[in-house]
Structure 1
């Protein structure tokens, strides 16, 4: 089994959910369940945020012109249903079901075409970044999958590969290097350290660092957050961390 992790960074106006999350950067949306057949897709998503931000997210899911997972740039005529399963002040659980038309495309359906029927999906959505984690048999054509995905998203989103590895490998042992970070994350983290972003007080803010690296501020923020998360999890799990000497 192999793991693929990549992100789509949506440009403004291409995806209403992404636009809404960009307006409410504290909101996080993750999939609890995601399944696809040749003709349909259904999923359950869990969102966290403030009451006001979750109202905006709910409206984006319920009232978009077309299903948020569809990669079409306009209404493709698909039939979709989205319902609220649970709602509290800081959480929102949504169920969505989508019946495709011949012009519809989505990450799961393109994956099924090239990686087989037994693909497992996990997603996280924050701001304009939509991160996908796929587990597949390893026997499909990954290159064809990414070629078709790139053609489907067109200019509406930019793709960034984050990790590809055997699922049996230890965490951090993917092709992104010993740390498990993608090259882009590694470069962002290294630049942040070299330019004093982590000093106290900071010698550079994220906007200045993004300008130096020639990337959008949101992209740099996303890369640093994902890198910090990966390293923090490795530290807590004790990977590569020496035990401190015991004082007697």
Structure 2
């Protein structure tokens, strides 16, 4: 982590300050994060935070064949990540920890896939473009931090950032299954979507790790640019 050793001259409007000992700190933090959403969607140039819309994940090795199925995803891009809604938040200054739960009402994903093996006991093979719609996925986030002194100024430094996802509803469409055989392709797509939750539970872990990395970057950039006292005055 690279601290600037100083802070921005003026606290920008998009940062809602919360006093560290205020009685409703969790409520204030929730409102503060929600106020950031439109800025995160477009990116915050002065903090070197890239846009969340669309959120480019890139290439993922979803399944490596150990469970009888190999799934590779390339050029994965997701829309809708900035529309998250925090449903629960617990802040503990003494324990240097934040826990929160958020819902992702609607995500749209697209990219390329390579798939070979068995899905729900059906043999499957194909490569090509895919699209997906995901509704009401829930993320659980735990953030712990330390206070670091840099040039006589105190900054918050992320110690641990963990994000886990519980799948919701949705649908996937894989193009060019079985070299474009429409009948077999429709059967597999219908089978996946009829068992959407079971299928996505198998592939969600690497996607959650990718999202965790993206949100960690955002959190780190904000903490690097503002002192502890600026973000959480006494």
TM-score of the aligned structures, taking structure 2 as reference length: 0.27
Larger Rg: 2
Judging by fraction of residues, say which structure has more strand: 2
TM-score of the aligned structures, taking structure 1 as reference length: 0.25
Larger RCO of the pair (alpha carbons < 8 Å, separation 6+): 1
